[in-house]
Amino acid sequence: MKRIISSLLIVLFLSIQPAHAYWIWTPKSGKWVNPKNLPKQNPGEQFAYAKSFFDDHKYDLAKREFRQLLKAYPKSAEAAESQYYLGLTEEKQGKLYEAYQAYQMVVDKYPFSERIQEIIDLEYKIAERFMGGQKRKTLGITLPVENPAIEIFGKVVENSTYGPLAPKAQYKLGLVLKGLMRYYEAEEEFNKVVSRYSDSEWSAAAKFQIASCRANLSKGFAYDQGSAQEAKEKFQEFVREHPDAVLSLDAEKNISQIMEKEAEASYNIGLFYEKQKAFDSAKIYYNSIVSDYPQSPWAALAAARLQIMEEKKK
Asked whether the CA dihedral 272, 277, 279, 280 is positive or negative, the reply is negative
34-105 maps to which CATH number?
Answer: 1.25.40.10
Please tell me the chain's helix, strand, coil percentages from 3-state DSSP, rounded to the nearest 5.
75, 0, 25
Q: 23-27, 31-35, 58-62, 179-183: which has the highest mean pLDDT? A: 58-62
What is residue 21's three-state secondary structure?
coil
Residue 283 confidence class, pLDDT cut points 50, 70, 90: confident
282 neighbors 305 (Cβ within 8 angstroms) = yes
pLDDT of residue 1: 58
pLDDT of residue 272: 83
| 48 sits in which H/E element | helix 43-55
Q: Which residue did the predictor score with more confidence, 241 or 55? A: 55
| Distance, CA of 193 to CA of 172 (rounded, Å) | 10
Using the predicted structure, report yes or no on whether residue 219 has a pLDDT greater than 90: no
Q: Which residues are paired to 33 by β-bridges? A: 24
| Distance, CA of 128 to CA of 148 (rounded, Å) | 10
Name the nearest CA neighbour of 38 among 71, 8, 13: 71
pLDDT digits (tens, 9 = 90+) for 241-276: 877 776 777 878 887 888 888 888 888 888 888 788
Chain mean pLDDT for the chain: 83
- What is the pTM assigned to this prediction? 0.72
pLDDT of residue 205: 92
Burial class of 33 by CB neighbour count within 10 A (0 to 12, 13 to 18, 19+): middle
Task: Determine the average pLDDT of the residues in 175-193.
Answer: 94
- Spell out the domain ranges in the chain: 34-105
| Distance, CA of 97 to CA of 100 (rounded, Å) | 5
pLDDT of residue 144: 55
170 neighbors 197 (Cβ within 8 angstroms) = yes
Q: Which residue did the predictor score with more confidence, 235 or 47? A: 47
Q: Could you give the percent of the chain with pLDDT greater than 70?
A: 82
Burial class of 93 by CB neighbour count within 10 A (0 to 12, 13 to 18, 19+): middle
| Distance, CA of 84 to CA of 114 (rounded, Å) | 11
pLDDT digits (tens, 9 = 90+) for 89-142: 999 999 999 999 999 999 999 999 999 999 999 999 999 999 987 654 444 455
Using the predicted structure, report yes or no on whether residue 188 has a pLDDT greater than 80: yes
Which of 27-31, 95-99, 310-314 shows the lowest mean pLDDT across its residues?
27-31
